[in-house]
Amino acid sequence: MITTSSSTEKEDITTKEKELPDKITQEQSLPKEGGVDRALRPQSFDDYIGQKKMKKNLRIFIEAAKKRDEAIDHVIFYGPAGLGKTTIANIIAKEMGVAIKTTSGPAIERIGDLGSILTNLQDGDILFIDEIHRLNKSVEEILYPAMEDHKLDIVVGKGPSAHTLQLDLPQFTLVGATTKLGALSNPLRDRFGAIHRLEFYEQNDITEILKRSAVLLDCSLEDDGAQELSRASRQTPRVANRLLKRARDFADVHNRGSIDSAVAREALALLDIDDLGLEPTDRRIIETLIDKFNGGPVGLHTLAMATSEEMQTIEDVYEPYLVQLGLLLRSPRGRIATDLAYEHLGRPKNSPAKKLFL
Three-state SS for the chain is CEEECCHHHHHHHHHHCCCCCCCCCEECCCCCCCCHHHHCCCCCCCCCCCCHHHHHHHHHHHHHHHHCCCCCCCEEEECCCCCCHHHHHHHHHHHHCCCEEEEEHHHCCCHHHHHHHHHCCCCCCEEEEECHHHCCHHHHHHHHHHHHCCEEEEEECCHHHCEEEEEECCCCEEEEEECCHHHCCHHHHCCCCEEEECCCCCHHHHHHHHHHHHHHHCCCECHHHHHHHHHCCCCCHHHHHHHHHHHHHHHHHCCCCCECHHHHHHHHHHCCCCCCCCCHHHHHHHHHHHHHHCCCCECHHHHHHHHCCCHHHHHHHHHHHHHHHCCEEEECCEEEECHHHHHHHCCCCCCHHHHHCC
Q: What is the mean pLDDT of residues 114-133?
A: 86
pLDDT in tens, 295-323: 878 888 888 888 888 888 888 888 888 88
User: How far is 160 from 158, CA to CA, in rounded Å?
Assistant: 7
State the average pLDDT for the chain: 81
Mean pLDDT for 125-135 is 89
Active-site residue list: 85-86, 130, 179, 238
* The pLDDT value given to residue 153: 73
**pLDDT (average), residues 68-84:** 87
Higher pLDDT, 6 or 232: 232
Which residue would you say has higher pLDDT here, 32 or 103? 103
pLDDT average, residue stretch 69-77: 88
User: What is the pLDDT at residue 243?
Assistant: 92
Q: 155 vs 343, which has greater pLDDT?
A: 343
**The 3-state secondary structure of 72-93, one letter per residue:** CCCEEEECCCCCCHHHHHHHHH
Q: For the residues 60-74, what does the mean pLDDT come to?
A: 87
- pLDDT score, position 14: 45
**Residue 355 pLDDT:** 43
Q: Is the pLDDT of residue 288 over 60?
A: yes
For residues 112 and 27, the model is more confident at: 112
Give yes or no for residue 168 having a pLDDT over 80: no
- Indicate if the pLDDT at residue 214 is higher than 80: yes
Domain-wise residue ranges, the chain: 2-197, 206-270, 280-356
pLDDT at 159: 64
Write down the pTM of the prediction. Answer: 0.75
pLDDT of 2 above 70: no
State the pLDDT at residue 155: 66
Residue 33 has pLDDT above 70, yes or no: no
Decide: 247 and 267 in contact? Cβ < 8 Å. Answer: yes
**Among candidates 283, 333, 281, which has minimal Cα distance to 352?**
333
Look at residue 22 and tell me whether its pLDDT is greater than 80. Answer: no
- CATH entry, 206-270, from 2.102.10.10, 1.10.510.10, 3.40.50.720, 1.10.8.60: 1.10.8.60
Mean pLDDT within 114-140: 86
Quickly state the pLDDT bin for 208 (edges 50, 70, 90).
very high
Residue 128, pLDDT above cutoff 50: yes
User: How far apart are alpha carbons 298 and 59 in whole angstroms?
Assistant: 46
CATH number of the domain at 2-197, out of 1.20.58.220, 3.60.21.10, 3.40.50.1820, 3.40.50.300?
3.40.50.300
Q: Is the pLDDT of residue 197 over 70?
A: yes
The residue-averaged pLDDT of 65-89 equals 88
Percent of the chain at pLDDT above 70?
A: 84
CA distance 114 to 290: 49
Place 161 in a pLDDT band, splitting at 50, 70 and 90: low
Q: How many CA atoms lie within 13 A of 273 on its CB side?
A: 21
Q: At residue 25, does pLDDT exceed 50?
A: no
Question: At the top level of CATH, which class does the domain 280-356 belong to?
Answer: mainly alpha
Query: Residue 11 — pLDDT band, cuts 50, 70, 90?
Result: very low
Per-residue confidence at 183, pLDDT binned at 50, 70, 90?
confident
Averaged pLDDT, 143-147: 84
Q: Rounded CA gap, 106 and 193, in Å?
A: 24
